[in-house]
Amino acid sequence: MMRRAINCRLLAAGLILPVGVVSPAAAAEAQRPNFVVLMAEAQGWAQTSVQMDDQVPASRSRTFNTPALERLAKSGMRFTYGYALSPRCTPSRAALFTGRGPAALRMTYVGAGRDGGPVRTALIPPEPLLELPTSEVTVAELLRDVGYATAHFGKWHVGRTDPSRHGFDASDGATSNGGPDNVASPNPKQAYGMTERGLAFMAKAQAEGRPFYVQMSHYPNQERKEGARPGRDSAVADADEIDKTFGLVLDGIARLGLTGTTYIFYTADHGGQGRTGNAPLSGGKGSVLEGGLRVPFLVSGPGIPGNVCSRVPATACDILPTIAELAGSRSPLAAGVEGGSLVPVLRDPAGRGVVRRPREELVFHFPHYDLGNGGPATAILLGGFKLIRNYEARTVRMFELEKDPGESRDLAASMPAKAAELEARLNEYLKAVGAQMARANPDYDPSKAPDPTERREGDERRGGKGGGKGGGGKKR
């Protein structure tokens, strides 16, 4: 019913145009591609019906059904090692907008949980920046400067500054989890609403002869989370809503005759919630284990081979440089951009290639207590090895992800040279970007530290000490 309503409203507004009817201006811009970015909310790597790793059958869910995403996978490329830059939403979104990592932006956490009470954890997490600075160059600003129409609909959650000041011509405003109406359950209203607004914007840009960038970012459903079995019923319902509306987006792009000129990026802000809900990966939202960071990451568009599984690591920071190259931008990227263009990989029939970033390694810095994650930690990924440093426990653990995606076999003690190499790279990165670090709590009293199970979502200060898998590993 909602699908028919959307189509009727677009027709009534004159925003579904006859195929082949274009203005001279539109013809002049016909060679410039369009971009659509879909950011799912808390969607785990294995929480879709797409097999994200062609060598791991368990990377395709038997519970979640996402036929629209299957369509995208068949027409494009999926990245086995696709990552959000943080296990939390605000840092991940800021990284996608700017191509810069959360540590460099100092946007390492969400704007919840700081109640002003005494810090009861062994370490005091840093105060993160909660507002994306207007001095940062976003993908929207980069494209708008070269003639693109730009829009963001859905969950903004990188501060209270209106998206127009970050380069977006149209938006739903500086929304957070509650959406424009600030309610506990923005969906299904906003899931379908932002889809309608996104398609209308595309049609309007097409009629004006302008290429476009449209990002649609989904909301969580807090009421559904509270009433469902943790991490399962809610996640399935959310995934179903995301996929149905994404199907409308794919249908709308095809109806406008833009499939052949539009690149579509699909990813998520972080993994699913819960320590076991992201199997075969370990950990989940709030953790720098793979379950908190590795997410669906798919790209489709002109010249991209279909049904290809790439094993080249990709992150949300790579989206801005990739789009810049595909759009033909000749301006240098802003200083500090950490991502690299995925174009060499996307053009390769087998999904191979080299992504040239300023640094080889990928770093995920999360100096916060969150959802029983074991405390502040940083992870580094390089050459198939991943090292995790836990600051409270003073441990490092290292895993070879190709052989051990569940991060169950710690290699730090048996491969000390490799662990030392990764630690040195990690230290160098954190120093280079001026990363904020957790510091020792001089008033820490273990007897007053609450149990990790008391930890509330989004409450970094009221967490207990340690917990989860973060406390194990090699002592430093």
Contact yes or no for 92/86 (Cβ under 8 A): yes
pLDDT value of residue 118: 79
> What is the pLDDT, as a whole number, of residue 100?
98
Both tokens of 216, joined, read: 């649609």
Considering Cα of 381, then 475, then 288, then 431, what sign does the dihedral take? negative
Instruction: Supply the pLDDT for residue 72.
Output: 98
pLDDT at 276: 72
39 forms beta bridges with 217, 267
Q: Where are the alpha helices (DSSP H) in 47-146?
A: 67-75, 89-98, 102-105, 139-144
Supply the pLDDT for residue 56: 96
For each of the chain's 476 residues, which pLDDT tens digit applies?
555 556 556 555 445 544 444 444 444 455 799 999 999 999 999 999 999 999 999 999 999 999 999 999 999 999 999 999 999 999 999 999 999 999 999 999 997 544 556 788 999 999 999 999 999 999 999 999 999 999 999 999 999 999 999 999 999 999 999 999 999 889 999 999 999 999 999 999 999 999 999 999 999 987 655 444 554 567 888 899 999 999 999 999 999 999 999 999 999 999 998 877 899 999 999 999 999 999 999 999 999 999 999 999 999 999 999 999 999 998 899 999 999 999 999 999 999 999 999 999 999 999 999 998 999 999 999 999 999 999 999 999 999 999 999 999 999 999 999 999 999 999 999 999 999 999 999 999 999 886 664 444 344 333 322 333 333 444 44
CB distance 285 to 353 below 8 Å? no
Q: What is the pLDDT of residue 138?
A: 98
What three-state secondary structure class fits 207? helix
The model carries a pTM of 0.90
Tell me which H or E stretch contains 39.
strand 34-40
And the tokens for 350? 């087998």
Q: What is the dihedral of CA 279, 281, 283, 289, to 10 degrees?
A: -170
DSSP strand pairing (170-171 vs 149-154): parallel
At residue 466, the pLDDT reads: 31
C-alpha–C-alpha distance, residues 464 and 455, integer Å = 7
- Report the DSSP beta bridge partners of residue 38: 216, 266
